[in-house]
Structure 1
Amino acid sequence: MSTPLLDVTGLCKTYGTNVAVSDLSFTLPAGGSLGLVGESGSGKTTTARMLIGLERPDRGQILVKGEPLAAASRLARAKAVQIVFQDPYLSLDPRLTIRAALDDVLRLHRHPDRAARVTELLDQVGLGAREAAAKPRGLSGGQRQRAAIARALAVEPDVLVLDEAVSALDVSIQAQVLNVLADIRRETGIGIVFVSHDLAVVRYLCDEALVLHRGVVVERGAIEALLTDPQDPYTRLLISSVPHAGWSPEEISEQRRALQQRS
């Protein structure tokens, strides 16, 4: 059996008395795409931050290609795992043009042909010369997120973590960005961990998903199975909460009350 691209075992994280993540384990094969799904407070963003080294787990281990992420140098960690945040301003320097921002990353990692790589990245995410010459404030929300994706891809990471990366975009722009991500995954074989509260969005990009509730995995499996035959009441609540024909806020509130009583 080949070594997983990403192997997470027994990950735990607490803040005081609050358990953010409890005994989380999963693997991601090369070219795989996994969704981490849950509402605010479910532990999904804490998990994403541990995957890129912004948070240190209390217990557990993260391996990338069989090597402990915690033991790697800062540059090696950046090469192994990159993240795209919900707000692209978190990763884009407002003082730099998009071309300069990409070049800056490549310079830091001593890329041998920065100009050619910048052109390749811009083409990969569908940005042209005008967008490349603009600063972040001169771009639309979708264009800024594409630029943030290009920046994350610059050093050709093994794993790309996307933390609610399309939730702030309108539906049509969401579709454009998701198409870009699907193309990149198919062309490069990069592993993707997609963090979201929206199972419908996760369905577009992921093969399987973990449903997190209060830091614990309550259900996992192939994304189609989770959507068509959810077993856990919390998964059913997430699916029901997405507005649709016949959607009833009162029914959702009732489901949530029943889940709270069970907990």
Structure 2
Amino acid sequence: MSLEAQGLCKRFGPLLAVDHVSFSVADGGSLGLVGESGSGKTTIARIVAGLERADGGSVRVDGTDRGVHVRGRAARLARARQVQMVFQDPYLSLDPRLTTVETLTEVIALHDGGTRVARRERVDELLDQVGLGDREAAALPRQLSGGQRQRVAIARALAARPRLLILDEAVAALDVSIQAQILNLLADIRTQTGIGYLFVSHDLAVVRYVTDHVAVMYRGRVVERGQTAAVLAAPRHPYTQLLLASVPRPGWDPTAVAQARRALQANNASEEPS
């Protein structure tokens, strides 16, 4: 399944949140949308997922325009199966009254139907896929850790058998060690299933692990794009350089952040109309 976004625009009152943004994700590919809060990346993710309507531009999945209204339950379910989304805080997105098994069974019944035995077999398959056991299967969201809840959220999204998974800051709220576990899990799932990812993050270091390509967003626009490894190795835009300089690491020098910020300010000043 291929995704193609062309010329996306979105306003919230006087604010132009997304300014003519275009990108694509090939079948089984993985694209990172990276930027700080307010850059427009989450708005784009919500447009692709169908949770927001663009003011301009188009989103096409396998050539079909997702902006066109569809009628009927079957058509809506078919569209939902194309793209699913995993949010930053699974505690808010999971039903607090349902156990993990009940959460997954609800989605499977909606999209697959099948017998009770077949649905349970599918639940077990998903639990195994995301690394959850019997205890987690019977637990309510409040009885799970943050990492376990995010695994449930990923399993719930996969239950619809989507071809593209949108992950909106899906590891941002987790401890670093748990982040690594979830990123490894996502890499394994992509290898096993061939699913595509649109991975939204403020952290360039995180997208290194799960994306092939990256688009860096600043003030509603894509300011740099390319293969993830190449962009991380030699960022060209001052904003990308600032994002990388801001990541603490061995030998990290805070003065590099100040230098990168000054370069960005100078670049912004040069782009202002005279």
TM-score by length of 1: 0.95
Is 1:196 the counterpart of 2:185? The answer is no
Task: Name structure 1 gaps, 5 residues minimum.
Answer: none
Partner of residue 210, structure 2: 205
- Kindly state the Cα deviation for residue 116 of structure 1 after the two structures are TM-superposed: 1.3
8 Å CA contact 2:238, 2:267 repeated in 1: no
8 Å CA contact 1:163, 1:196 repeated in 2: yes
Is 1:49 the counterpart of 2:46? The answer is yes
Instruction: Deviation per CA, 1:123-167: give whole Å up to 9, x if none.
Output: 100101110000011111111000000000001001100000001
Instruction: Deviation per CA, 1:161-208: give whole Å up to 9, x if none.
Output: 000000111111111111111111011111100001111110011001
8 Å CA contact 2:17, 2:39 repeated in 1: yes
8 Å CA contact 2:238, 2:263 repeated in 1: no
- Identify the match of residue 184 of structure 1 among 185, 189, 193: 189
- Kindly state the Cα deviation for residue 70 of structure 1 after the two structures are TM-superposed: 2.2
Partner of 1:166, secondary structure, is coil
Partner of residue 107, structure 1: 109
Is 1:62 the counterpart of 2:59? The answer is yes
- Identify the match of residue 17 of structure 1 among 11, 14, 18: 14
- Kindly state the Cα deviation for residue 110 of structure 1 after the two structures are TM-superposed: 4.1
Partner of residue 90, structure 1: 92
Partner of 2:148, secondary structure, is helix
8 Å CA contact 1:86, 1:166 repeated in 2: yes
Is 1:32 the counterpart of 2:41? The answer is no
Partner of residue 78, structure 1: 80
AA of the residue aligned to 1:232? H
Partner of residue 243, structure 1: 248
8 Å CA contact 2:245, 2:260 repeated in 1: no
- Kindly state the Cα deviation for residue 252 of structure 1 after the two structures are TM-superposed: 1.7
Task: Name structure 2 gaps, 5 residues minimum.
Answer: 269-274
Q: Which consecutive aligned stretches of 4+ in structure 1 deviate over 4 angstroms post-superposition? A: none
RMSD: 1.4
For these two proteins, the number of residue pairs brought into alignment is 260
- Identify the match of residue 219 of structure 1 among 216, 224, 249: 224
- Identical counterparts, % of pairs: 62
Is 1:159 the counterpart of 2:159? The answer is no
- Kindly state the Cα deviation for residue 258 of structure 1 after the two structures are TM-superposed: 4.0
Instruction: Deviation per CA, 1:41-73: give whole Å up to 9, x if none.
Output: 111100111011111000111111111112344
Aligned mates of 2:26, 2:212 — CA distance in 1: 11
TM-score by length of 2: 0.91
AA of the residue aligned to 1:130? R
- Kindly state the Cα deviation for residue 256 of structure 1 after the two structures are TM-superposed: 2.1
8 Å CA contact 1:52, 1:77 repeated in 2: no
